[in-house]
Structure 1
Amino acid sequence: MKRIGVLTSGGDSPGMNAAIRAVVRKAIYHDLEVYGIYYGYAGLINGDIKKLELGSVGDIIHRGGTMLYTARCEEFKTIEGQKKGIEQLKKFGIEALVVIGGDGSFRGAEKLVEHGYPTIGVPGTIDNDIPGSDFTIGFDTALNTVIDAVDKIRDTATSHERTYVIEVMGRHAGDLALWSGLADGAETIMIPEVEDNMDDIIKRLKRGHDRGKKHSIIMVAEGVGSGVDIGKEIQSKTDLETRVTVLGHIQRGGSPTAQDRVLASRLGAKAVELLLEGQEGKMVGIENNKLVSHNIDEALARGHKIDEEMYRLSKELSI
């Protein structure tokens, strides 16, 4: 193997640049040429591909987003689109590919493997919803962004004695809501993995108000539903002054934390190692602080699971 490619796909996450840097420099260290594929699978189909040198990835480890840019590509979900992408890889002499992204990106990588093209997946998503890795690149940074925002919201919630509903991202996973809710002492955490009874939530709020509690924080994962709708329902049933904050895409931006930079560097380098060993159709991950690899198809088939013990703890501590 003499030449590999790297792309980022789907939603961006802080630390993707650190992962790109690790892939490029690890590959060059082992005398491989590296080509960057811009705009994800769309760029792959269109041949938006350029050679990357050591200097190409200088001064990016601390930057959020992705220097390779990213896009969603419906065409790549088709066999025709996948074949177009592979033709471009052959045209540039790229013998293997590293894909950095989330669930959808991994499914694209899985399709390339089915077509016989060596591919390794690196989990990069703020959602933390890739089975086979305790953490994904970008989750820690997004988590700290949420915590910082909730700390500020708590100040005004206390001043005005209000109930605040805060909607966070995470797609169909509740990790961001659960971790930030536990870290910020939220009274209620609503996640898609656990069905909530609104009557119980209302009783909890009223009980807190009756014992003199001045404000409440309710964390809502976007997979549960609209935070705005939940806020309206709470106010109508409790008469408590309620406000809603949807944090939105602020959660995806910002300079990656030390944890995300180190995680991205380790995972990116590990992906290149697997390719050098002749492996394909794998994803790299971290479990119990040890680097691991799994078959992409087997990992995706397992599905994402929430930490139930952590969820129970959040209930116990918010009485």
Structure 2
Amino acid sequence: MGVNALRRLAVLTSGGDASGMNAAIRAVVRTAIYKNMEAYGVHQGFEGLINGDLKRMYAGSVADIIQRGGTVLRTSRSEDFKSVVGLEKARDTLHSWNIENLVVIGGNGSLKGGYELSKLGINVIGIPASIDNDVVYTRSIGFDTSVNVVLEAINRIRDTASSHGRNFIIEVMGRACGEIALAAGVAGGAESILIPEIAPDLDQIIEKINKGIERGKIHSIIIVAEGVYSTMQLRDIIESKTGHDTRVSILGHIQRGGTPTAQDRILASQMGKAAVDLIEANKRNLMVACDGNRMFSIPLQEIVNGKRTLELGMFELVRILSI
């Protein structure tokens, strides 16, 4: 590597987009420039790294992006990067650009990919960005925005549910993690929440709806994390056992996009700066993490082998407050 390799860094976004990624890119680039480093943007994630799709970035390159959802560097899921040949091509690309440091902004899959690349000698610093909030030991960029998108949908759907006297089942994203469903359900006053971490109790849901009907309640909101239970099948069960009209709303990818909240912009800005600080201090192969207002770092190896535990006290809170 050349003498300037340690004063250069590349940044990429990978996996599913999350609002706040642009704020993180901006923070990485401008902090690098402030510290007299050169910053390079990798387009199309790890796929772009394999193909050599890099471009020098300047302060103006990240102007007016802090408020934008998605990622200006774009993203992808690269099958080639999962192979030894793909990893070696990515490493060789960075070497050809005389770059030693790579900032990876993304979720679990992206951080795992970064960890594999670090085994080939590249210094990888991870920034957690995932609307699912499923990265261990930290809050992830994009989660707060996604929860607020779901919350707005709940508020709107509750209006029509109340007007028509209907039950509504709202399906949200999350894959194997119920964080979005739980947070939005608590904030939105949902009567029931189905998450992958707890086996669904359909009898309890039906009982709660029927008890509500007995005391004059004309609607209920049920939040379902995708993949936990068929929303259409759940609708049919609820209608048959309560006699109440029940509708389904699948929010889908609207939860990914949109203007990031202030919380996500601040978190992304802090994490972007912290990532460059670690590079400047010659710290290697770490992920930036945040616990409340405290920034710290964790070895990538610990991140990829860790398992997030949901705060199930929130689930109990829903059960109590939705009587």
Does residue 140 of structure 2 align to residue 136 of structure 1?
yes
1:107 deviates by 0.7
* Aligned residue in 2 for 1:308: 312
Q: CA RMSD in A?
A: 1.0
2:208 partner amino acid: R
Contact 2:137 2:308 in 1 (8 A): no
Q: Which amino acid aligns with 2:215?
A: R
Q: Which residue of 2 aligns with 1:43?
A: 48
In structure 1, what residue type is equivalent to 2:160? T
Task: Please give the residue correspondences for 1:8-157 in structure 2 after superposition, counting only pairs within 5 Å.
Answer: 8-133=13-138, 135-157=139-161
Q: Deviations over 1:163-190 (max 9, x none)?
A: 1000001121111100110011100011
The Cα shift of 1:205 comes to 1.3
2:95 aligns to what SS in structure 1? helix
Please state how far the C-alpha of 1:235 moved relative to its aligned partner: 1.9
Q: Distance in 1 between matches of 2:201 and 2:228?
A: 12
What residue is the counterpart of 1:283 in the other structure?
Answer: 287
- Supply the distance in 1 between the matched residues of 2:161 and 2:193 (Cα, whole angstroms): 17
What corresponds to 2:9 in structure 1? 4
In the alignment, the residues of structure 2 paired with residue 229 and residue 142 of structure 1 have an alpha-carbon distance, to the nearest angstrom, of 26
1:257 matched to 2:253? The reply is no
Q: Using the alignment, how far apart are the partners of 1:56 and 1:126 within structure 2? A: 25
Determine the C-alpha separation between the residues in 2 that align with 1:149 and 1:86.
43
The CA distance in 1 between the partners of 2:112 and 2:229, in whole Å, is 25
> 2:14, 2:49 → 1: CA distance?
10
Q: Percent identity over the alignment?
A: 51
Which deviates the most, 81-90 or 204-213?
204-213
Structure 2 counterpart of 1:216: 220
Please state how far the C-alpha of 1:299 moved relative to its aligned partner. Answer: 2.3
Q: Aligned partners of 1:101 and 1:146: how far apart in 2? A: 21
Cα distance in 2 for residues equivalent to 1:3 and 1:226: 49
| SS at 1:302 equivalent | coil
Tell me if the contact between 1:173 and 1:223 (Cα under 8 Å) persists in the aligned partners: no
Alpha-carbon shift at residue 237 of structure 1 (Å): 2.9
Moved more, 288-297 or 39-48: 288-297
User: Do the aligned residues in 2 keep the contact of 1:99 with 1:109 (CA within 8 Å)?
Assistant: yes
Taking structure 2 as the reference length, what is the TM-score of the superposition? 0.96
Match of 1:206 in 2: 210
What is the rounded CA distance, in whole Å, between the counterparts of 2:145 and 2:44 in structure 1? Answer: 23
Q: Find runs of 4+ consecutive structure 1 residues off by over 4 angstroms.
A: none
Q: Summarize the Cα distance change of 1:210–1:172 in structure 2 as closer, same or farther, 3 Å threshold.
A: same
Choose which of 225, 246, 252 in structure 1 pairs with 2:250: 246
How many residue pairs get matched?
318
